[in-house]
Structure 1
Amino acid sequence: MKAEWIAVDWGTSHLRAWAMQGDRVVDRAQSDQGMSRVAKGGFQTALLSIVDRWLGDSPVDVIACGMVGARQGWVEAPYAAVPSEPVANVPVRVPGTDPRIRAFVVPGLKQTTPPDVMRGEETQIAGFLAAQPNWDGVLCLPGTHTKWVQLSAGEVVSFRTFMTGEMFELLRGQSVLRHSVGQGWDDAAFSEAVADTLSKPENLAGRLFGLRAADLLQGQDGAVARAQLSGLLIGAELAATRAYWLGQQLAVIGADQVANIYAQALQQQGAFVETADATEVTLAGLALARNLTRQTA
């Protein structure tokens, strides 16, 4: 099976690729060779290791988004400044590739005040707007670094990044809470914790240690502690982003589990929330980026 073109989402931790025929996925592959695990000069080898079987004699376009376009990535794709269309510039061609591929990397977005950057999310935003071209409002893109993005007239007007996902992993895996946070989930505990820090975010540090104390003194279940840890951090994030989501048209883009967690927290506050599948909008955005390369080829 040969691909007409290859879509790639290359983040810090993972590499995902799809063999495409037009807008249709005909095969997929992934590895743990994210940008943080690939040495300079090793990007092409990492990519070919999972897409080689899709290649033929004539060159195949590879359209990639994500951290692969960072300064430490395969090729640096300079940021476009907001306000801007999500994918405003033609993707950057990677020089000196294997003759069987023509690789391009989608540029990210930057914001001067307050300072902020994104790579990868701009492609998801473009894909979301392709399906809803007149959509104005706020997008929440949860993940390791969650983005809150204000959209108007097809442009990214402003955005903010929150390290909530990374903080969760650090606290769960490397802090004293690692002894108390287990697997599983408790919806009621999550909702209560969201409400707690949303109303009193200044209490966050004390409430976090309370998870350890509840384990030591009351034998609190690890699943309850996990849900509470997530809820406390997301509640603090919602308190900080209230101006973004309160009274706004709102959509959450992400993998099912994390998108549903954020949607639950927002709905708890009376917000009306749409959800969109991260893979679908990523592929739609990469298709748009591919069209830009074809128009200038």
Structure 2
Amino acid sequence: MEIKRWSLVTVVVGMVNVMLLVEGCLEEERIAILQIKTSFYYPNATSSLHDSWRKYANCCNWKGVSCNATTGRVVDINLSFERLAELGDGYLNATLFFPFQELISLSLHGNNILGCVENEGFERLSQLGSLKRLDLGDNKFNNSILTSLSALSSLKSLNLANNRLKGSINIEELNRLRSLEELYLAHNEIEGFKSFHGGNALLKLSNLKFLHLDGNHFNNNILPSLESLSSLNILNLSDNHLKGSFNIKGLDALINLETLSLDENEIDKFVISEDSRGFPNLRTLLMGRNHFDGTILAQGD
């Protein structure tokens, strides 16, 4: 009888421990979030996010934070547009996010971040195997951020739109992100992809479905770099420097393409070769504000 009583007590205590775990975030993660806060705000600053962090002891109830209902661990941190503008441009210590071992999604969109603190970049987060989505859009990162990000092989979605990427991008650094399904590089000043080790500058992201390159400085030479993207569904090349004859054969391998945007370029005709496969799954073709005059399609070799 005594043994049964102790067994029951053990079960009850175990259930209480599980309930406590589910109902509250882990202390190390709560402390880590508070440390992040100090780099985004003045000590006595106020905001809707900041106020919720004061109101609740459980960080799973904080604005911008979501937790796994079973483990209690943080899985989503959204700090978009949260860094005080009065702080000016700043550098990020990415290691502050290291405690979040089950983190799936991280958004630092629109925070005037210039880059990472030396030796404290995103490469230090390579052990966060659950991290799938990273939004760094609308900041001030330059090309050097790609070296840091190339260690995050688990990423499926990466947003670097509206930053300060320019000139030629190192193709090898992007190709290390083998799991990528979505890549947003829109509204930078990128002119092309380059292999800094020699050879073809070919994007080899076989899982990539969405590629947004709009608002850059790409010209017609971008097409050979896209030949291996056979899984691609959406390609946005609008508002670039594409001009003259646009040979569709250059995109022949994109057999799963459903949407192609070529708006706001200087294309005057599409060239179709006799052996071109075309786009069997294409549903939407956007080509407004170009230089078409009369015949749009021309037969090529």
Q: Give the TM interval when normalised to the shorter protein.
A: under 0.3
TM-score in terms of structure 1 length? 0.26
Question: Which structure would you say has the larger Rg?
Answer: 2
TM-score under structure 2 length normalisation: 0.26
